[in-house]
Amino acid sequence: MMTSDQTWLLLVVSLPTNSATARMRIWRALKALGCGALRDGAYLLPNRDASRRQLGDLADETVREGGSAWLLTVQAQSDGDSEAYRALFDLTNEYAAFAAALLAARRTLARLTPPEINRALRKLRRDYEALVAIDYFPAEASAQGEAAWMDFVNVAQTLVSPGEPQSVDLEVPRRAPLDYQGRTWATRRRLWVDRVASAWLIRRFIDREARFLWLETPTDCPPEALGFDFDHAAFTHIGDRVTFEVLLASFGLEREQGLVRLGAMVHALDVGGGFVAEASGFEAMLAGARQRCPDDDQLLAEMSVVLDSLLAHFSNEPSGIVDKPAGDKIEPE
């Protein structure tokens, strides 16, 4: 039931008529935040810390541009008013438009090359994340939008990455690192998120003398090699964990905050679920490195520097993981 005790942030701004460029810039920023417009120059958001900071920055910018701005905390006077305010943030039409865009894109997938599929997916993922970011009151349209998005991702993943492992419902066995030294590890060639991160984790924290084989197909895996991130491998998806997270659990590395947060990033990019701000940047760097590096050994060496830096970042920063769907399960060719 609606209650009138919800508080809101109200930004009232006014800019000189000759500040057309500043006016447009601030209006676009307000739109990107998903503000509800009460009237021209009066914008509403739910009272949340992040929103207060963002609106405060826009108020400061308005003043710098020669205008005036007031940022107020207001409260609805009745349940009816509260419901009317919340209605300003109804994204039913926006989710419907996004679902239509997914449907149109899906009709073309079979005719696209893997790089083209991934470009389309990255654009649509940006659109989806922008929509989720302003979904202040998730409702039925939100659930339908998430279902449509995950269905699209699954279809695209089937076309681009048929070798991606299927999760198995087992307990993660604990392993002793001393039993896994100087071993040969094998995974599918043309490394992508989970595989490159897992290979880095193996060499950095589990088996510093690890040797890697990059397989054309999982059936090429020698019996003496430790396979990872493919069906029936020694280390693969278990339950809701991706291979990187399974390795963390197997070797008792889950107490390391930085590694756990790296695992959340890998999870978001590999199978979706959860939002990690650094995920898109990591994916872009990996995609660029794949284009430049002639083989997977060089790719692993280059991305190991990136993962080392991300580990340092995650180990010394407060958690940036929020419970919002994001990411995709796509592996470019």
pLDDT in the model for residue 162:
61
pLDDT in the model for residue 20:
86
Which residue is listed with tokens 């400061």?
60
Alpha carbon dihedral 86, 89, 90, 96, in 10-degree steps, equals -170
- Provide the 3-class DSSP secondary structure of residue 41: coil
Whether residue 181 is found in the same domain as residue 318: yes
Query: What token pair was written down for 54?
Result: 């963002």
Whether residue 228 is found in the same domain as residue 307: yes
Whether residue 29 is found in the same domain as residue 114: no
Whether residue 79 is found in the same domain as residue 106: no
β-pairing, 226-227 with 184-188?
A: parallel
Helices 193-201, 257-271: axis angle to 10 degrees equals 160
pLDDT in the model for residue 322:
42
Exposed e or buried b per residue across 99-134, where buried means at least 16 C-beta atoms within 10 angstroms of its C-beta: bebbeebeeebeebeeeebbebbbebbebbbebbbe
Nearest to 271 by CA among 317, 295, 236, 228: 236
Whether residue 143 is found in the same domain as residue 111: yes
Which of 57, 87, 117 represents a domain boundary (last residue)? 87
CATH number for 55? 3.30.70.930
pLDDT in the model for residue 161:
64
Give the domain extent around 220.
Answer: 177-322
Whether residue 189 is found in the same domain as residue 82: no
| Residue 238: strand pairing partners | 168, 241
Per residue of the chain (333 residues), what is the pLDDT tens digit? 444 558 999 999 998 888 888 889 999 999 999 999 998 899 999 999 999 999 999 999 999 999 999 999 999 888 888 899 999 999 999 999 999 999 999 999 988 887 788 788 888 988 998 999 999 999 999 999 988 888 888 788 777 666 667 667 778 889 999 999 999 999 999 899 999 999 999 999 999 999 999 999 899 999 999 999 998 899 999 998 999 999 999 999 999 999 999 999 999 888 877 778 898 889 889 988 988 998 999 999 999 999 999 999 999 876 544 444 333 444 444
Domain count, the chain: 3
Whether residue 155 is found in the same domain as residue 233: no
Residue 270 is assigned to a structural domain of this protein: yes
